[in-house]
Homo-oligomer: A and B are copies of this chain.
Amino acid sequence: MTIAARVLIAVLIFSTGHALAERPTMTDVLAAATDADWRRPLAENTLYLKLPAGIVIMEVAPQFAPDVINNLRVMTDADYFANTAIIRSQENYVVQWADPNAESDKALSLGRAAPTVKAEFYRSGSDLDMELIDSRDAYADEVGFVDGFPAGRDADKSRAWLLHCYGMLGVGRANDPDSGSGAELYVVTGHAPRHLDRNVVLIGRVLQGMELLTTLPRGTGDLSFYESASEFTPIEYMRFADDVPEVDRINLEVLRTDTGTFRQLVESRRYRSDPWFVDPAGKIGVCNVPLPVRQVE
Q: Which residues of A contact B (CB under 8 A)?
A: 1-2, 4-6, 8-15, 87-88, 90-94, 96, 98, 100-104, 119, 121, 135-139, 165-167, 172-175, 177, 184, 186, 190-195, 197-200, 210-211, 214-218, 221-223, 225, 229, 269, 272, 275-279, 281, 283-288
Q: CB distance B6 to A194 under 8 Å? A: no
Could you name 23 residue pairs across A and B whose Cβ atoms are closer than 8 Å? A1-B103, A5-B101, A5-B104, A8-B103, A9-B172, A9-B184, A10-B223, A11-B173, A12-B94, A12-B173, A12-B200, A12-B223, A13-B93, A92-B210, A135-B138, A136-B137, A136-B138, A139-B285, A166-B191, A177-B278, A191-B191, A199-B276, A211-B218
Chain B residue, CB-CB nearest to A217? B215
Q: CB distance A90 to B13 under 8 Å? A: yes
- With A and B bound together, what is the CA distance between A85 and B134 in angstroms? 40
In the A-B complex, the 10 residue pairs with the closest CB atoms: A5-B103, A138-B285, A4-B103, A195-B281, A166-B191, A198-B279, A211-B218, A139-B283, A1-B100, A10-B223
Q: CB distance A14 to B223 under 8 Å? A: yes
Q: CB distance B12 to A96 under 8 Å? A: yes
- This chain's copy number in the assembly: 2
Chain B residue, CB-CB nearest to A165? B191
Known: A8-B174, A9-B87, A135-B138. 8 other contacts (CB 8 A): A4-B104, A5-B100, A8-B102, A91-B214, A139-B283, A166-B190, A199-B272, A211-B218
- With A and B bound together, what is the CA distance between A198 and B7 in angstroms? 21
Contacting residues, chain B, for A177 (C-beta < 8 A): 278
Q: CB distance B138 to A284 under 8 Å? A: yes
Q: CB distance A2 to B103 under 8 Å? A: yes
Q: CB distance A278 to B199 under 8 Å? A: yes
Residue with the highest number of chain B CB atoms closer than 10 Å, among A14, A191, A283: A191
Chain B residue, CB-CB nearest to A161? B279
Chain B residue, CB-CB nearest to A281? B195
